[in-house]
Structure 1
Amino acid sequence: MPGKSSKGPRQPLLGAPLDALDPYLPDNGNLGYRISRYDLELEYKVSPNRLAGIATLTATSFIHLRRFTLDLASSMSVSRVTIDGKRARHSHRNRKLTITPESPIPPGGALTIVIRYSGSPRPIRGPWGEVGWEELTDGALCANQPNGAGSWFPCDDHPNAKAPYRFSITTDSPYFALANGVLESKRSRAAQTTWVYQQVEPMATYLASVQIGMYKKKTLATKPVPVEAVLPPRLMRNLEVDFGRQIEMVEAFVEMFGPYPFPVYTVVITDDELDIPIEAQSFSIFGANHCDGSRHAERLVAHELAHQWFGNSVTLTRWRDIWLHEGFACYAEWLWSQRSGGRSAAEWARIYYDKLAAHPVRATLADPGPRHMFDDWVYKRGALTLHALRLSIGDGNFFALLRRWTDKYRYGSATTEDFIALAANYSTMSLGPLWDEWLFTAALPAFPGPS
């Protein structure tokens, strides 16, 4: 688990985190070690959808490690594995790469794992649809949530297993390549360009992402938070309409939630239409249908931006706590609506309360179940829970709590119990009844506020 100090960047502690699988995704994640850094060298050919990679993983063992596993899709073929420069035996089946070191690794032992692999990446199919690496009409995107990271690189695919990353992406020169973090270098040679990005702040595997397309970059702001847009030239004319209030939105959320947690924020707009936008650490991905000159998707623009605080910087420790991401991002939509002159948060609460009341569910918000964790009711009931809390403790305490939450667990992982414990410091009365009603009881409580 991350340390408790709130000073400076929060780094994962090796040797101490929860070494357990997530019951919502028991086939993902791996035991016995923790990865402290990913270095991914990727070469991608767009037209044949061909990816070749060298993944260098720095890790530390928890136990006497005779062998260990990584998550990697069967569409990827592994040609060579070394540990500390020595060949290691490996097998690859059922989306698990099993590696056997030449000699067992002692508890606390450091190891550098280098994996050469290649293949034609494709999404991983599951209860939530297809997630992972996806071909576009002319390019590619990565949308890993919750278990798609292994579709394109070997990893410990668990939300609590955060680490820094370095991405080196080589692709044909007409294409723009984006990855998480800050662009460190860009070098063109012959008909190819290599883009190198450093993601210093620890990141969950599901938030790792590469975007490739015929894009141009436009700078929207340079300070206090650098904001950029990466999109097809044909959509530039709509950018000012659909994302024209992006800077105001960033400023509002910094005021409400605390300092923006990363060096830059980028909006990616693909040339294809997308059913829903997608968050990644330090950027968000939208489809061409979200940039059509109508501003109809502005609530989604707010939602994805809010995830940089709630989900990307402060990440759930286990998937059952998904409301800590989606409920907070949904409530940010309502807060932005009110700030920008639209309906108030109280009005949105009433609208969505009535919708939830018309379609009751049998699961609790604190444990919705793996098949239902991305259902819309989780988002809306999560937002209503925050609205109920806000009414209970008052605006001053509520926003102070949110800023403390994003500071205390910055770059780390947290649970519902952590939020409950922190919220207790901002209330003069017991919040137990509120949590019992909104988090741990399936039945919808009474509407929070005047009828």
Structure 2
Amino acid sequence: MELNSHHETATPSKPMTPNAIDPYIPGSGNTGYSVTHYDLDITYRVATNRLEGQAIINAVCDEPLNRIALDLSTALKVGKVKVNGAGVAKFSHKENKLRLKLQGSIGEGERIRIEVKYAGRPQPVNNLFGSIGWEELTEGALTANQPNGASTWFPCNDHPSAKASYRIAVTTESVYRALANGTLQSTKSGPGTTTRVYDQPEPMSPYLATIQIGHYATHTVATTPVPITAALPPRLRTNFDHDFARQNRMMKLFSQLFGPYPFPSYTVVVTDDALEIPLEAQCMSVFGANHCDGTRHSERLIAHELAHQWFGNSVTAAQYRDIWLHEGFACYAEWLWSENSDGPAAKEWAEHYWLKLNRSSKDLILTDPGPRNLFDDRVYKRGALTLHSLRTRIGDDPFFSLLQDWTNRYRYSTVTTADFTELATHYTAQPLDDLWSDWLRKKPLPDLP
């Protein structure tokens, strides 16, 4: 995401009390099991904002369980639940938690298959992060889940560390096109409706799962080195061809600097509505019509969202306190694109934003900014400055070798700041403790090297 400035499960002996897996989103996420695959069948009526869903969730028990909890918005009503083909003893659905009491206990290491049928009029959740999750557009809908809005449209373990593969089937009125993560596997038309089935085999955090529905026409932007597809209203095609013209150059540059692109393809969606901010999903980025106005003023945002495919989507922070591992890296990618496309060098951007941060409040710790500062622009810019300081300290060749090792070693995994700082020690003989302490763990703004 780019800002412009800006389980509860239990063993038989434990009571069902919420577990704060992540203090930044204390009501989201569940323990006791690990999801391996989501199979989602979504039918959506645009005119009435009516969603009917069936989710099949395959998981493995991490401990003996006789109760299971999933995250699911109470705007959606649950009709039927099965576990391993049988009904449950009972279930309750309140406060955006679907709690299942099983008929017996399931042992550690055993597989579990949960089927949930549900329906309703999906709504975004409004919290301190804004309006999150399912959003109606003038003619269509989108999902913007970060950090905890996936549960507004499907039952899940709504935490970034809970990665799984996905199959997403979306049925809509045939006048609309529906897009979702991954590769389009099939398209089937019925009386007035069309079903499109997408496959996303690479593990994905729930917040990165997405559905995009609108009057979209698709066209191929590039076939090499990575297939890039655009989906947008036909009226915006001329603007798009100008504003996004250098996108494939970005893909080539980032593949060179960060290592191979981590997914089979990339899709860019431009909605017919204006959006306050663009946002990333796995294999996909979403922009508003206001980012496609024929002036190319949003090119840095195009670079930012593309960089998230490496930093945030493939390599994902295990806890939201480490959001700088997403946003600082994507912000620095903006500067690298500028440096390699006849714009100001990263050094110039670093000096510019250091001065800006020096005039701002210095009450933020980068590796624990707090929930209210999760998407604060200071996290983005100080994160990028941290990387620039590291690059200046150890040199270009070791720095970019480190980034490529990082994206390869932790591909499709979750990480912590400690993982990155430890890996960096292998790319320099110099001690880095002072750099990490000053930039990551203290509030004052360090001098630029």
What range is the shorter-chain TM-score in? Answer: over 0.9
1:43-86 Cα offsets, whole Å, 9 max, x none, are 00000000000000001111121111100011010010001111
State, as a whole percentage, how many aligned pairs show the same letter: 55
1:153-209 Cα offsets, whole Å, 9 max, x none, are 000011100000000100100111100000000111121100000000000000000
Aligned to 2:279: 278
Letter in 1 for 2:159: H
Distance 1:279 1:47 in 2: 26
Distance 2:78 2:124 in 1: 18
**Which SS does the other structure have where 1:273 is aligned?**
coil
Matched, 1:166 2:167: yes
Distance 2:24 2:170 in 1: 32
Letter in 1 for 2:101: T
Distance 1:95 1:52 in 2: 17
**Which SS does the other structure have where 1:43 is aligned?**
strand
1:104-133 Cα offsets, whole Å, 9 max, x none, are 111112111000000100111111101000
**Which SS does the other structure have where 1:407 is aligned?**
helix
Letter in 2 for 1:214: H
Distance 2:361 2:120 in 1: 45
Aligned to 2:55: 55
Aligned to 2:241: 240
Contact 2:216 2:232 in 1 (8 A): yes
Q: CA deviation at 1:20?
A: 6.9
Aligned to 1:15: none
1:366-409 Cα offsets, whole Å, 9 max, x none, are 11011101100000000000000000000000000000000000
Distance 2:164 2:249 in 1: 31
1:224-246 Cα offsets, whole Å, 9 max, x none, are 20011100000001111110000
Aligned to 1:289: 290
Letter in 1 for 2:286: I
Matched, 1:144 2:145: yes
Contact 1:40 1:53 in 2 (8 A): yes
Contact 2:178 2:212 in 1 (8 A): yes
Aligned to 1:447: 448
Q: CA deviation at 1:361?
A: 2.4
Letter in 2 for 1:271: D
Aligned to 2:434: 433
Letter in 2 for 1:23: P
Contact 1:42 1:51 in 2 (8 A): yes
Distance 2:320 2:80 in 1: 33
1:318-367 Cα offsets, whole Å, 9 max, x none, are 00000000000000000001111011101000110001000122121011
Letter in 2 for 1:423: A
Aligned to 1:39: 39
Structure 2: 5+ residue stretches without partners: 1-18
Distance 2:108 2:345 in 1: 54
Aligned to 2:82: 82
Q: Structure 1 residues 360-369 or 203-212, which shifts more?
A: 360-369
Distance 2:428 2:122 in 1: 50
Distance 2:199 2:132 in 1: 24
Distance 2:339 2:249 in 1: 13
Aligned to 1:253: 254
Flag as ranges the 4+ runs of structure 1 deviating above 6 A.
Answer: none
Contact 2:22 2:319 in 1 (8 A): yes
Distance 1:77 1:418 in 2: 41
Letter in 1 for 2:423: L
Contact 2:20 2:28 in 1 (8 A): no
Contact 1:20 1:31 in 2 (8 A): no
Distance 2:249 2:109 in 1: 47
Distance 2:225 2:238 in 1: 25
**Which SS does the other structure have where 2:338 is aligned?**
helix
Aligned to 1:396: 397
Structure 1: 5+ residue stretches without partners: 1-18
TM-score w.r.t. structure 1 length? Answer: 0.94
Contact 1:136 1:272 in 2 (8 A): yes
Aligned to 1:211: 212
How is 1:31-430 mapped onto 2 (pairs within 5 angstroms)? 31-88=31-88, 89-430=90-431
**Which SS does the other structure have where 1:435 is aligned?**
helix
Distance 2:42 2:367 in 1: 38
Distance 1:363 1:247 in 2: 36
Letter in 1 for 2:314: S
Letter in 2 for 1:253: F
Letter in 2 for 1:330: C
Contact 1:353 1:384 in 2 (8 A): yes
1:135-166 Cα offsets, whole Å, 9 max, x none, are 00000000000010000000001110000000
Contact 1:360 1:444 in 2 (8 A): no
What root-mean-square deviation, in Å, do the aligned CA atoms of Structure 1 and Structure 2 show? 0.8
Contact 2:76 2:118 in 1 (8 A): yes
Letter in 2 for 1:262: F
Letter in 1 for 2:143: C
**Which SS does the other structure have where 2:300 is aligned?**
helix
Letter in 1 for 2:41: E
1:281-305 Cα offsets, whole Å, 9 max, x none, are 0000000000000000000000000
Distance 1:121 1:162 in 2: 23
Distance 1:31 1:202 in 2: 18
**Which SS does the other structure have where 2:112 is aligned?**
strand
Q: Structure 1 residues 166-175 or 104-113, which shifts more?
A: 104-113
